Each structure stands twice: as C-alpha cells, then as structure tokens.
A and B are shown apart, each in its own frame.
Chain A
Amino acid sequence: MIQLHRLARRSEPYVLAAIVALCLLIQARSGQFFSGNNLVDDVRSLIVPALFSIGCMMVLVSGGIDVSFPAIASLAMYMTDRILLASHYSGSVVLAYAMAAGFGLAMGAFNGLLIAFLKLPTFVVTLGTSSLYTGIMYGALSASASDVPPAIAAHGKAKLFTATNEQLGLTSNMPVQVLILAGLIVVVFCLLRYTMLGRGIYAIGGDEAAAERTGFNVRAIKMFLYCFVGFTAGITGIVRISMMSFADPSTMLGMELTVIAAVVLGGTRVTGGLGTLTGTILGVTLMIIMANSLILIGIPTYWSRVFTGAVIIVGTGVTAHQVGSTRRRARAAAALGGLGGGVGAGHGEG
C-alpha cells in the first residue's frame, strides 16, 4: 500500500508524467505519435539501452558506477561473431547468445574480482577495464565492421508482429528481441524484490559495513552483480548486431553516459541505495522518445541532443531538490527531539 504522500516523494510519477505529456504533445502536433508503426519503432530503439540500463541500475543501487558495459558488450559480441563466422556456423542463434553471454560473464567476473575482492573503487576500475576491453577488441583482434552469421541475421529479421501506419503506409516490425528484454525485466524484478540477494544489493548500497555485519556475504553479492552485468551485456551485444544485421564494433561504445543519465532520470540515486526497475525503464523510455520522436514535431534530429541534455539537467535538478527536502525534513524531525514515535508514546508520556 503506497500512500499518496510517499508517492509524491518518489521520482517515477514525475517521469511518467513527463512521458505522457511529451507523447500527447507530439501526438497533438503530428498526429503520428500513437500510430502503431511509430510506437513499434520507439520500442525497437529502446531495447538495447533498456537492456543496458537494468544492469547499470543494479550497480548504481549497490553504490558503484560501472562504465564498462558497452565495452564488454562490444568485445563479447565481436569475439562471438568472429568465431562463428570463421567456423561457418549455420546453426541456431542460441549458441551465439550463449557464447557472448559467456564472454561477457568472464569480463564481468574480472571487474568483480577487482571490485569485490580487492575492494577497488568501481568508477576507476571500470574505466580501466573499459579501455582494456576496447583496446583488445580493436588492437588484438583488429576489429572492423563485418557481417553476421546467417543465424543471427535471420534472428534479427524475426518479428512478433507488424505494425502499420495507414496514413503514411509505413510498416514496422516488432522484433522478437523485445521478449528478451521482457524476460530480463521479469527475472530482475523477482530477483530484486523476492530474494535475499536482491535485498542484499540494496543493503550494500545503503551501508556496506552494516551489510557485512548483518551477515550478508558482500563479496559474493558484488561478484554476482558484476558477473550478471557482464552476462547481460554479452546478450545485449548479440541483440544489437542481430537487429542491425551488421556487426560494427563501435556501435555501442560511448553509450555508458547516456544510459547512466537515463537510469538516474528514473530516480536511481547516484550515491546508491535507492532505485527501481520501473523508474529505470521509464527513464530510458523518456530518453528514447526524445531522441526518436522529436522529428515528428518538426525538431530536426540535430537538436535532439540538446533536449536530452536539458532533460537530464532538469530531471537531476528535481531529484536533487527532492533529496534536499528529505534531508531537511529529517533534520527538522531530529530537532524536534524525536517527538514522533518513540517508546512510551502510546502510554501518553512521550
């Protein structure tokens, strides 16, 4: 039971409101927003960022910042692509996913080793590994844009359904990959909410020393976290190249900052401890709608980044304001000398 006043303190409702407002605005100006084809295109565009954002959010909640996931995704995907092409693989795409996930897991495990066991700071470590993995990809493997094995290409063309825009005669296919996103969302939702592992991630983000003392195996939880991020990054890599039917090693690089921005927009605190899956997906949705659909109201794509930047600034400003007022309220409560609650309050003593 979420009471209304508590709802007002969270970010998700505001992001949702912004999305709704934006959609209505675009619909009003162009009449095209809610057309099936446009909606499907938007969903198509958000699959990869959303996949990234989930792992990213989990790391942020635990109090860290991981910037290496695009590099992991790229390297994992590239290695898989090369191997499959070299062996003239023509089987199912499942193997591609498995391989990439495996590579991603290994790379994430390396992060985990440094962060969980050696207790190195996450931002700097992932900065280093990001450089390392990118360098391996371009340097050791001399990566360049290449084709994808037939299985992946076919997978990329597979669709759930087709949406048509009668007015303009455009059609868009809802890609099958959206099921992967949906699956991940369900898994992570259950993980975070119903398992001790998930609660442990929040606990670590709240107070790592206390988590240790309470009995959480902090090292194991963190190790899992970074392995999981690597695992999903690998899968995301295959999703990306299958949807593009083309393996360009650079396509995902540089996304880390915009993904982090989207996650924070959705209410996740950079300092850790707070963040929801709902908010994260909403944040990504908002960013994608802005990036994609501004053209429908006549704003050329050139200006979309300005909007993205403005939204990040406004969104984080609002969050900063909320955090500030929470602290002010807590201080006020403390200054009143604990008049609320407390033992004996029920006996009329206070």
Chain B
Amino acid sequence: MGKADRRGRVGRGDKNLLRLLVLLALVFALMAVLRPGQFATAASLNSMMRQFPEYGIMAIGISLAMITGGIDLGVVGTANLSAIVAAKYMLAAVPKGASPAELAPYLFAAVALAVATGLACGTFAGTLIARFNIPAILATLGTQQLYTGIAIGITNGRPQSRLPLLYSKIGNTELFGFFPLSFVLYALIAVGIGLMLSRSRFGTCMYMLGTNPKAARFAGINNASVIMRTYVLSGLLSSVAGLIMMARANSAKADYGAPYTMQCVLIAVLGGVDPNGGFGNIAGVTMAILILQFLSSGLNMFNSVSNFYRDVIWGGVLILVLVFNRILSQRAERRAAARRTAQGR
C-alpha cells in the first residue's frame, strides 16, 4: 500500500462537501449581485430563515432513513397529521376568550399531542420495515397514503384554521430580535443530529447497517432496533416540521406541502446522502437546503421570472452534479481497475 492509495485519503464525503460549499457560495454571490440591496439584506435573510426549516427538518428525517439504507416517504403525511391532531385539540379544548396565561397549558398539550402523533407514526413505519421486512420505499408509500388519508378523514378535507393566535405568535417569535424560532429549532436539530451521526455509537451503527445489514447482524448490531429508532426519530422530526408549518400558516391542512416529499429526497441526494445507504452527513444536507432556499428566494425577486424556474434549476443542478460525480468516479475507477488488473486481481 503506497502512494497510490493515499490519494483516496480525502474521502468522498469531504470532496462532496467542498463542491457544495462552492455551489452555495456561487449561488449566494450570484443572487446578491443580481439583486443588490434586495437579496443580501437582513429582511431577506430573515424571510429565508422562516421558510426553510419546515422542509429542512423533514429533509433531515429523510436523510436519516436513507443513511440506514431505507427512505421515509411518509414525512409529509406525518407532519400534516401531527399538526391536525394538535389543531383539532386546540379548537376543541381551548375555552373561548381565554387569556394568554390560561392558554399556555393547552398549547403545551397540543404540542405534546403532535409530537406523540409523530412518534406513533414513526413507530408504525419502523415496525413495518423492521419487523415485517417490507421494503422501506413501499412501506412508507403506504404510510404516506395512510396518514394523509386519516388526516383527510378526521377533518373531512377542510383546513383547521382560526387557531388561538398565541400559537402563531409564539411560533413566529424571533430570538435575540433576529432569529426566528423555527430557524433556531432547525439549527439545534441539525447540530444535534449531526453530532449524533458523527460522534455517537448509534450513528456508527446506522452507517454500518446502511452499508451491509448482513454484516451488521454478525457484528452484533441490533438491526431491528436501529431501524426502529431511525423511523421514530424521523417521525418526531416530521411532527416538529408540522408544528412549524402550522405556526406559519396559522392553520393545519391534510394535503399541505405535498411536493415537499420529493423535494426533500432531492435535497438529501444533492447533499451527498447515498440512496443505497451508508453515507451522508447533515452538513451537506444543510448546504443543499440553503442552496434551494437561496435559489427560491432569489428567483422570487425577479418579477419577470417565475418561481418555477427554481424547479428547473434544481433538477438541472442535481443532474449536473450527478453527471459530474459520475465522470470523476469513472476516471478514478478506470485508474484503479488498471492497477488491479495489472496486479492480476
């Protein structure tokens, strides 16, 4: 093992992060230059910080599932169901004309209910995958339908609005006068989950399971437990996302955020999460989220340019990145194969 192998030292994860960082900086610079005085302002940044946490948190949940070799397509259904459960509770339980102090316990209870719903949804999905061996993509396709369906059923398809104003007020407050609560939540979650993935035993188990479930079993990893915890965590994150969405819109609806699912998968993949499992980190996912948000907000500022161009750019960038990665790895593989064949392996 000599010099040739040292070239692999900068792992694929680091290379990808670097590329994303460059892309992020480019997009930011581009938007700042094209829309001076509009894009790189405090107000615009503040607005962006309000918008991305709801799908950003779900993207983290999906990334966790993908790292273990699965996927969670039920995040949006879980988010909406959790929000609706909380909303229905608030509408039913809160007495009219209550003062803010009296409202507080009800709000706590509503949040707790939402979180409990998210945990339950995650547990169910985890059971299907870990215990019944249903492939994750199919199980969560099913749960997405199921949870959305339940949400439609208990609301008869109608949005739950006229929630206690205090909820939105709290949900939309800014800490230190600048950072929206949702942004802070995202930051805390990202840091926490990121540390868990890179520093904890559980994180290592997730990566190993995603790489080779059979070998994981032989190494003493409790596959079922890791899978279960992953989806429960994803469910939890989805419920938080649902609460954030509800605060922003001041209502809960069963089919809110339908395009978010595929968008979050896109974010995860662009952020370097390998759909086959075993690789990915939160830093990359966060950068992918920010890239999307910058594009989205930036495009919004061009009056003549439709916001849907974002989808074009988004899809285009994903494909370009894939092609670029592929060409690079093909070249590396050709070199390695030549070396191997020469060694007769």
Interface residues of A (CB under 8 A from B): 65, 67, 114, 118-121, 123-125, 127-140, 142, 254, 257-258, 260-261, 264, 270-271, 300, 302-310, 312-313, 316-317, 320-321, 324
A135 near B311 (CB under 8 angstroms)? yes
- Chain A residues closer than 8 Å to B148, beta-carbon distance: 305, 309
With beta carbons under 8 angstroms apart, the residue of A128, A134, A261, A300 that contacts B319 is A128
Shortest beta-carbon distance from A63 to chain B in Å: 13
- Count of B residues near A, CB < 8 Å? 49
* Residues 276-322 of B contacting A (Cβ, < 8 Å): 305-316, 318-319, 322
* Interface-facing stretch out of B27-35, B126-134, B207-215, B237-245: B126-134
A305 near B315 (CB under 8 angstroms)? no
| A307-B149, A309-B142, A309-B145 known; A139+B314 contact, CB < 8 A | no
CA distance A312 to B73 in the complex (A): 13
Chain A residue nearest to B137 in the complex (CB): A270
- Chain A residues closer than 8 Å to B156, beta-carbon distance: 300, 302
Shortest beta-carbon distance from B144 to chain A in Å: 7
B323 near A132 (CB under 8 angstroms)? no
| A131-B266, A139-B306 known; A261+B323 contact, CB < 8 A | no
- Chain B residues closer than 8 Å to A124, beta-carbon distance: 269, 275, 318, 322
29 contacts between A and B (CB under 8 A): A119-B326, A120-B323, A120-B326, A124-B275, A128-B315, A128-B319, A130-B262, A130-B315, A131-B263, A132-B311, A139-B305, A139-B308, A139-B312, A140-B312, A254-B259, A257-B144, A258-B145, A270-B135, A300-B153, A305-B145, A305-B146, A305-B149, A306-B153, A309-B142, A309-B145, A309-B148, A312-B145, A316-B139, A321-B133
- Chain B residues closer than 8 Å to A128, beta-carbon distance: 266, 315-316, 318-319, 322
A138 near B145 (CB under 8 angstroms)? no
Shortest beta-carbon distance from B22 to chain A in Å: 19
B105 CB–A CB distance under 8 Å = no
Shortest beta-carbon distance from A308 to chain B in Å: 5
| A140-B309, A302-B157, A306-B146 known; A132+B141 contact, CB < 8 A | no
B133 near A135 (CB under 8 angstroms)? no
CA distance A307 to B259 in the complex (A): 22
B166 CB–A CB distance under 8 Å = no
A261 near B138 (CB under 8 angstroms)? yes
B45 CB–A CB distance under 8 Å = no
Shortest beta-carbon distance from B78 to chain A in Å: 12
B147 CB–A CB distance under 8 Å = yes
How many interface contacts (CB-CB < 8 Å) are there between A and B?
153
| A139-B311, A313-B128, A317-B128 known; A302+B323 contact, CB < 8 A | no
B26 CB–A CB distance under 8 Å = no
Shortest beta-carbon distance from A128 to chain B in Å: 4
B94 CB–A CB distance under 8 Å = no
B150 CB–A CB distance under 8 Å = yes
Chain A residue nearest to B263 in the complex (CB): A131
B221 CB–A CB distance under 8 Å = no
- The listed residue with most B CB atoms (<10 A of its CB), out of A137, A139, A303, is A139
A114 near B311 (CB under 8 angstroms)? no
Other than the given A127-B269, A309-B143, A313-B139, 12 more pairs (CB < 8 A) read A67-B262, A121-B275, A123-B275, A127-B318, A128-B315, A131-B314, A132-B311, A261-B141, A261-B142, A306-B150, A310-B142, A316-B134
B152 near A305 (CB under 8 angstroms)? yes
* Residues 216-273 of B contacting A (Cβ, < 8 Å): 258-259, 262-263, 265-266, 269
Shortest beta-carbon distance from A162 to chain B in Å: 32
- The listed residue with most B CB atoms (<10 A of its CB), out of A127, A264, A320, is A127
- The listed residue with most A CB atoms (<10 A of its CB), out of B147, B266, B322, is B322
With beta carbons under 8 angstroms apart, the residue of B133, B149, B318 that contacts A324 is B133
- Chain B residues closer than 8 Å to A118, beta-carbon distance: 323, 326-327
- Chain A residues closer than 8 Å to B266, beta-carbon distance: 127-128, 131
- The listed residue with most B CB atoms (<10 A of its CB), out of A120, A131, A142, A317, is A131
Shortest beta-carbon distance from A72 to chain B in Å: 12
B134 near A135 (CB under 8 angstroms)? no
CA distance A127 to B265 in the complex (A): 8
